[in-house]
Amino acid sequence: MDTIKSQQVTFKVFRFNEETDYLPYYNTYVLDVTHEEVVLDILNRIKWDHDGSLSYRRSCRHGICGVCSIKVNGKGILACKSRLFDLINVFGSELVIEPLSTKRVVKDLIIDKKDFWDKHASIKPYLVSDIEEHPASEHLVSPHDAEKLLEADYCIQCGACHYSCPALAINEEFIGPAAFAAAYRFSADVRDEASLERLHIVNEETQGVWDCVKCMECAQVCPKEVNPIEKITKLHNMVFEANIAKNNVATRHAVGFAHSIEKHGLLDEGELVRYSEGNFGVMKHIPEAIAMFKNGKIVMPWNMPKSKNLDEIKKLIKSSSTVKF
């Protein structure tokens, strides 16, 4: 049997009670932790041995209910699944324990997830299908069709990605990675009949997939490896395939790359902005363009560099394109 290793760790724990506190504060605890312990063990020890008023959510304690998600040194984790020694490896022996969102705290590590659930509900996270109430046989889904769901089914609604998404932290309308992953999960299901309706929801400007900043935070933080940004890319693709992509700055920004690559191999940066924004919209970029021009940062159209063997690229764009806009 392995011997138990232990180490002293300083925990700074976020405290706030919306009923009594004006400002949040941190309590510090110095504890010996063993290599077997997870963060939830420490929260329990603090509550049971030091301060019974510390509040946090816990339930299944094996990574399936999703309620114990919190942040440690800014990293979203499931308290019941994250070993202390792994965190010490990354952050050293001072760990800061905070709620997923300091803006939405009810008490200590407990947050009000209403915004999360509202977003989730908004994309109809369930199968919409006219089914017979008394079917004669099971409604079977082939393994091939089941594989289309990818890992989207593994989501436990812990909110780690939702409260790590920088786009969502600024733009409150943004639906966010967890709900997008759910939108993909049900829209990719062969039994579902509301796919188009969902695609219209995620295709809307400000709230939809187009406002994703592509930071990969959601793919990184997910404790169940759902990889939400992969599903966001799939939703983009489905919007084009369903032929409902609007002719706007966001869609033209994606399509413009294909045009530019076909012409030059490389991206014509200036033309991409003009094509995406339109001849009128591009005007707002003029002050920047002048500053860039003055510093030799703008290549004139007649000097636009081209890839060698451009004919290969042109040929591949013709033969390998799978969608039209």
Partner 1 sequence: MEKLKYALYTGCTARESTPELLKSTMAIADKLGIELVLLDEASCCGASHLQDYDDFLSLVLNARNICYAEKLGLTMVTICNTCQLNTAMTKHRLDTNPELKVKVNAKLAEVGLEYKGTSEVTHFLYALIQDYGLEKLAANVKVPLSQFNIAPFYGCHNIRPSELQNLSNGGENPYNPTSLDDLIIACGGVNVNYEEKNKCCGFHAELQSPRTAAILTGNAIAGAMDANADWMVTPCPLCHLKLDVQNHGASKALGREVHLPVLHMPQMVGLALGCTPVELGLNHHVTKVNFV
296 lies in the binding site for partner 1 (CB under 8 A) = yes
| Contact between 269 and partner 1 per CB under 8 A | yes
The least distance separating partner 1 from the CB of residue 315, rounded to whole angstroms, comes to 6
Selected from 167, 190, 204, 242, the binder of partner 1 by CB under 8 A is: 167
In the complex, what is the shortest distance from the CB of residue 277 to partner 1, in angstroms, rounded to a whole number?
Answer: 7
Q: How far is the CB of 71 from partner 1 (least distance, A)?
A: 10
Closest distance between partner 1 and the C-beta of residue 128, in Å? 25
- Contact indicator for 35, 85 with CB cutoff of 8 Å: yes
Q: Which stretch binds partner 1 (CB under 8 A): 3-11, 62-70, 151-159, 313-321?
A: 313-321
Kindly state whether residue 141 participates in binding partner 1, applying the rule CB under 8 A.
no
What angle do the packed helices 195-202 and 177-187 form, to 10 degrees? 150
User: Is-contact 9 93, C-beta < 8 A?
Assistant: yes
| Minimum CB distance to partner 1 smaller for 65 or for 289 | 289
Q: Which among 264, 184, 267 is positioned nearest to 254, based on CA atoms?
A: 267
Which residue, 157 or 227, has its beta carbon nearer to partner 1? 227
**Using rule CB under 8 A, residue 249 touches partner 1:** yes
Using the minimum distance from each CB to partner 1, give the nearer residue, 107 or 119.
119
Nearer Cβ to partner 1 (66/256):
256
| Type of residue numbered 289 | A
Asked if 117 is part of the footprint of partner 1 (rule: CB under 8 A), the reply reads: no
Distance CA 256, CA 276 (A): 7
Give me 299's structure tokens: 């290549």
**Of residues 205, 244, 283, 286, which one binds partner 1 by CB under 8 A?**
205
Over the window 209 to 228, marking each residue x when it contacts partner 1 by CB under 8 A and - when it does not, the resulting string is -xxxxxxxx-xx------x-
Task: Name the one range near partner 1 by CB under 8 A: 20-28, 107-115, 193-201, 254-262.
Answer: 254-262
How many angstroms separate the CA atoms of 210 and 202, rounded? 8
Q: Note whether 12 binds partner 1 by CB under 8 A.
A: no
DSSP 22-73: SS-EEEEEEEEEETT-BHHHHHHHIIIII-TT------SSSSSS-TTEEEET
Task: Count the site residues for partner 1 by CB under 8 A.
Answer: 68
Residue type, 262: E
Examine residue 291 and tell whether it contacts partner 1 (CB under 8 A).
yes
Environment class of residue 88 by beta-carbon count within 10 Å: exposed (0-12), middle (13-18) or buried (19+)? middle
Cα separation, 285 vs 292, whole angstroms:
11
- How deeply is 3 buried, as exposed, middle or buried, from its count of CB atoms within 10 A (0-12, 13-18, 19+)? exposed
Token pair recorded at residue 205: 């400007």
Contact residues toward partner 1 (CB under 8 A) are: 73-75, 90-91, 166-167, 170-171, 205-206, 210-217, 219-220, 227, 233, 236-237, 240, 248-251, 253-255, 257-258, 260-261, 265-267, 269, 273, 276-277, 287-288, 291-292, 295-299, 305, 307-309, 312-313, 315-317, 319-323, 325
